[in-house]
Structure 1
Amino acid sequence: MLDVIERADQLVLNYVSKAADAAHGVLRADQRLDFVKRLRARIEAERRGSQNARDVSKVLARFGDPVALVEREVRRLADTGASTGSDPSAGGRASGSTGGGASTLRFPAIVDDRDGPPGVRAYRKIAQERLDRGAGRGLPFVGLRRAAMSSANPMATGGRDARTVVKEHPRDTSAMVMLVVAALLVPFDLPLLAIFPVPLVVWAAGAAIVLLSETWNVRDKAVGAGAPLLGYTVGGVLIGGLRMGAQPGLEAFLTQFYAVSGTMFMIGTGLGVVWLAYRLLDADGPVS
């Protein structure tokens, strides 16, 4: 649980840090400090105490690109007559001051707060609520499409992409990598580790991390860790039996089973890892 809370807080910290970096050299030091302080306060208000990393990601996505927020802040200050860090005449004006000496007390509205007439905003709110309830989950591979848009606007990706997911879930990612490595080792005639094949040992290590993960639910863990074994046993039996042809007998069956079971293990591993990755990338997926 502590790890989940730390991930949520880290998301906020990373976002605010990006905004602060974007404001460096654009806003004066006092304006930058005021901007970051108000941004953090507005995020915490929208976050409403949530410690769920996915909920926090959605909140941050609604704020949009941190660079765009800085640009809006610059325009807002310009409208009030205040000079910014990019203005060589900035001099030593007071913190957060405007042309008339008033301090900046309010953070600009977040994305879509004010855009469009009331009717448009109402329908937009309804559409967003439907998306938040998971209406978009009916679309095929929505999580994978989000990952492919790693450089896109966070509004379009739900605040998640492949790079972000890897940073948020290093152990889960390493487990999937281990499962893939186990499958890739199957064709090689490696010496046994004690009495166990090397691919089986690597698979067991990856499966253990999957089963101990707090990210996937029970069904996801069963699919991800069990698909390789299901492919090896059930797939090997079915395909091996079909390949026997007119050669009855246990020896013929075992020959065909061992001939195809490794390949079926690799196929099962691939399907299991794809499912785990999809569930990890699906920002709307359940966590238990």
Structure 2
Amino acid sequence: MIERADQLVLNYVSKAADAAHGVLRADQRLDFARRLRARIEAERHGSQNARQVAKVLARFGDPAALVEREARRLAEEGAATRRDTAVAAPVESAQPRGTGSTMRFPAIADDPDTPPGVRTYSKIAQERVHRREEGRGLPFAGLRRAAMFSANPMATGGRDARTVVKEHPRDTAAMVILVVAALLVPFDLPPLAIFEVPVVAWAVGAALVLFGDTWTLRDKLVGIGAPLLGYSVGGVLIGGLRVGTEAGLQAFVTQFFDVSGTMFMIGTGLGVVWLAYRLLDLT
């Protein structure tokens, strides 16, 4: 997950640099990207947790907004930017190279010295913009975006299915193995040593889920616990209902094993759906 955390930072800085094209001069863009990267590294405090790094980047807000703030700061200092030269070309030639650099990066929205009221209303505004971008009022907008396998990650916020699979190969493999374990239940395969093949496949998928860094512990327990819950509790309940109260233990055991496999498959499906949803949500 170290590569994942660093990639998030690189993607964010790259978006900011792209947004600076046509707004800042080349030297100003380099200086801006360097200071932005340094500020992000200072805010993440060496964390290699992708979720924590994503939260840090969310606090910085839209990269394009940072570029606009930088352009305004340079304008207030009297430094010519690329945008200015588009209107008055001679300005850049008269501007000394490197003018406008500063060692201090503008404060982000939730810095301690920002008034609490400003932070509160800024957060509310960002949430409203985010909801509009998510397509509020449109049913299953997030699900439709996730299904856009050929979508441009820049347009989907990196949350289309292709990008999620590419950036989380181990987590994706874990979910696939869990699905395969469920699909193997109806087949009467010879056991491996004393273990049934679906159980072995489930154990491999469960281990990958447990050792992953993307999901929270609760998500992991739900994902791998749903098949076990379906097999045990579901098998007992459905098996008990099928035999009734008059049948003996042998009839109950027979019905339990008849329905427990199906309940295991249903539980696995629900667990994988939850893991996939949380993987999309956390990214």
Q: In which range does the TM-score fall when normalised by the shorter chain?
A: 0.5 to 0.7
Which is further off, 234-243 or 30-39?
Answer: 234-243
Shift of 1:266: 2.2
Q: Aligned partner of 2:105: which letter?
A: F
- Is contact 2:227–2:271 with CA below 8 Å preserved after alignment? yes
Matched, 1:109 2:111: no
- Structure 1, unaligned runs of 5 or more: 129-144, 152-158, 284-288
* Alpha-carbon distance between aligned partners in 2 of 1:248 and 1:10, rounded to the nearest angstrom: 61
Which residue of structure 2 lines up, in the alignment, with residue 74 of structure 1? 71
Instruction: Describe the shift of the 1:46–1:204 C-alpha distance in structure 2 as closer, same or farther (beyond 3 A).
Output: closer
Distance 1:86 1:177 in 2: 53
Once the two structures are TM-superposed, the CA of residue 82 in structure 1 deviates from its matched residue by 1.0
Letter in 2 for 1:51: Q
The code of the aligned residue for 1:83 comes to T
- Residue identity opposite 1:14 in structure 2: N
Indicate if the aligned counterparts of 1:95 and 1:103 stay in contact, CA closer than 8 A: no
SS of residue in 1 equivalent to 2:241: helix
Deviation at 1:149, TM superposition (A): 11
Post-superposition Cα deviations, 1:201-245, rounded to whole Å, max 9, x if no partner, equal 432321221233355566654443233133113321221121113
Would the aligned equivalents of 2:110 and 2:119 in 1 still touch at CA under 8 Å?
no
State yes or no: 1:192 paired with 2:189.
yes
Write the mapping of 1:90-129 to structure 2, written as runs, cut at 5 A.
Answer: 91-92=92-93, 93-97=95-99, 103-111=101-109, 118=115, 120-121=117-118
Please give the alpha-carbon distance, in whole angstroms, between the structure 2 residues aligned to 1:182 and 1:256: 22
1:29 aligned partner: 26
TM-score (norm 1): 0.66
The code of the aligned residue for 1:209 comes to L
**Structure-1 separation of matches of 2:57 and 2:97:** 27
Q: Distance in 2 between matches of 1:205 and 1:113?
A: 44
**Partners of 2:109 and 2:119 within 8 A in 1:** no
2:81: which partner in 1? 83
Describe the shift of the 1:149–1:32 C-alpha distance in structure 2 as closer, same or farther (beyond 3 A).
Answer: farther
Q: Using the aligned pairs only, state the percent identity.
A: 68
Residue 231 of structure 1 aligns to a residue whose secondary structure is helix
Does the 8 A contact of 2:174 with 2:208 survive in 1?
Answer: yes
> Is the 2:214–2:279 contact (alpha carbons within 8 Å) kept by the matching residues of 1?
yes
Checking the alignment, whether the CA contact within 8 Å between 1:236 and 1:260 is kept in structure 2 is: yes
Secondary structure in structure 1 of the residue aligned to 2:82: coil
CA RMSD after TM alignment: 4.1
Tell me, in whole angstroms, the C-alpha distance in 2 between the residues paired with 1:81 and 1:217: 47
Question: Residues 1-288 of structure 1: matches in 2 within 5 Å?
Answer: 3=1, 5-79=2-76, 80-84=78-82, 87-88=85-86, 89=89, 91-92=92-93, 93-97=95-99, 103-111=101-109, 118=115, 120-121=117-118, 169-186=168-185, 189-190=186-187, 192=189, 199-215=198-214, 221-245=220-244, 248-249=247-248, 252-277=251-276
Aligned residue identity for 1:95: R
2-structure distance, mates of 1:168, 1:112: 29
For residues 199 and 209 of structure 1, the distance between their equivalents in structure 2, rounded to whole angstroms, comes to 16
Aligned partner of 1:84: which letter?
Answer: R
Please say if residues 232 and 268 of structure 1, whose CA atoms lie closer than 8 Å, have aligned partners that are also in contact: yes
Q: 1:62 to 1:280 in 2, by over 3 A?
A: same
Pair 1:150–1:184, CA change in 2 (3 A) = same
Q: Is the 8 A contact 1:228 1:268 kept in 2?
A: yes
Normalised TM-score (structure 2): 0.67
- State the one-letter code of the partner of 1:58: K
SS for the counterpart of 1:10 is helix
| Cα distance, 1:18 vs structure 2 | 1.7
Give the Cα–Cα distance (whole angstroms) in 2 for the partners of residues 213 and 149 of structure 1.
Answer: 26
* Separation in structure 2 between the aligned mates of residue 65 and residue 47 of structure 1, nearest angstrom: 17
Are the equivalent residues in 2 in contact too, given 1:57–1:160 (CA < 8 A)? Answer: no
Change (3 A) 1:83 1:26: closer
Q: What is the CA-CA distance between 1:19 and the residue it aligns to?
A: 1.3
| Range that drifts further, 214-223 or 166-175 | 214-223
Equivalenced residue count is 249
